[in-house]
Amino acid sequence: MNTLNNNTDFLLSIENLTVSFDGFKAVDDLNLYVDENEIHVIIGPNGAGKTTVLDLICGRTRSTDGSIKFRNKELTSMREHEIVREGVGRKFQNPSIYEDLTVFENLELSFPRGRSVWGALTFQRDQDVKIRVHEIAEMVFLNELLDKQAALLSHGQKQWLEIGMLLIQDPELLMLDEPVAGMSVSERKQTAKLLNEITKGRSVMVVEHDMKFVEDIAHRVTVLHQGKILSEGSMAKVQADPNVIDVYLGH
Ligand code: ADP
Ligand code: MG
């Protein structure tokens, strides 16, 4: 195992990462790096280990070996909420929003709690929250629907709401697992626009199967297969890679 502990300029630096489930290596000696302001997309066949990589980064799954450094801080020994506090936000495949609450209330609830809340400043805080909720709602195309009950949103709008709930926490790294699954073509286009917009000042890791969508957003693509990197680089490069065509794109 590589035991170099040099600091890196990468926002996220994954080295020799392995997780073994009863002897089966879902992620196998993986090295993966994410730059500041980069949209990094992970593609690959089902069971390749894509979701597991995100689970390892956000602390939901514990690694067997290796290192995950975020701003040169080791994440593998941290707990999920500590990793969130470091600035890593994660969206799961199924949106977890409060269906009974309005769009506004969902966003408001996700606003990070102030470090110290003293009475006299409560009004100012309320105003700040309101302004921020409106800004985020605009970004995720829900500014006209702030009073709508979340249960009544379309599937795509629910996905956007959840992205908004993460954005309001202003993470430096945002991870999205299959964000356009089940979306219409026009919703996919809007989501691509949204992701291109929100990378200003943050990095995004996306797992996705929709190649048109990947083409619209990816700065860099990593192709995973059996827990290892099959190919990496620009979309054009990995699309032309015979190994990738063979195990993934050819189907
Ligand atoms: P992908 O997201 O690329 O489709 P996953 O990361 O979900 O793949 O899964 C990779 C492999 O690891 C699969 O074979 C899956 O069954 C296995 N796996 C994932 N999580 C666990 C777990 N908690 N326990 C056992 N096996 C798991
Ligand atoms: Mg998955």
Name the residue at shortest CA distance from atom 5 of ligand 1.
Answer: 49
Q: Is residue 92 assigned to a domain?
A: no
Range of the domain at 154: 97-170
If asked whether residues 83 and 176 sit together in one domain, one would say: yes
If asked whether residues 31 and 146 sit together in one domain, one would say: no
If asked whether residues 176 and 83 sit together in one domain, one would say: yes
Q: Report the C-alpha gap between 222 and 238 in whole angstroms.
A: 8
From the CA of 238, how far away is ligand 2's center (Å)? 20
Ligand 1 pocket check for 48: Cβ under 6 Å: yes
- End residue of a domain, out of 170, 205, 233: 170
If asked whether residues 154 and 192 sit together in one domain, one would say: no
If asked whether residues 82 and 105 sit together in one domain, one would say: no
With CA atoms as reference, report the closest residue to 142 among 110, 171, 165.
165
- End residue of a domain, out of 155, 170, 185: 170
In the chain, the number of structural domains is 2
Q: Report the C-alpha gap between 107 and 171 in whole angstroms.
A: 15
Q: Report the C-alpha gap between 244 and 222 in whole angstroms.
A: 10
Phi, psi of 31 (to 5 degrees): -120, 125
Which of 52, 90, 223, 225 best tests ligand 1's pocket when mutated (most atoms within 8 Å of CB)? 52
From the CA of 43, how far away is ligand 2's center (Å)? 10
From the CA of 71, how far away is ligand 2's center (Å)? 26
Residue 38: C-alpha distances to residues 55, 56, 158 (Å): 20, 20, 25
Residue owning tokens 């500041």: 36
The ligand 1 atom nearest the CA atom of 52? 6
Q: Is residue 114 assigned to a domain?
A: yes
pLDDT in tens, the chain (251 residues): 444 556 778 999 999 999 999 999 999 999 999 999 999 999 999 999 999 999 999 999 999 999 999 999 999 999 999 999 999 999 877 778 999 999 999 999 998 875 455 555 676 778 889 999 999 999 999 999 999 999 999 999 999 999 999 999 999 999 999 999 999 999 999 999 999 998 888 999 999 999 999 999 999 999 999 999 999 999 999 999 999 999 998 86
- End residue of a domain, out of 170, 187, 216: 170
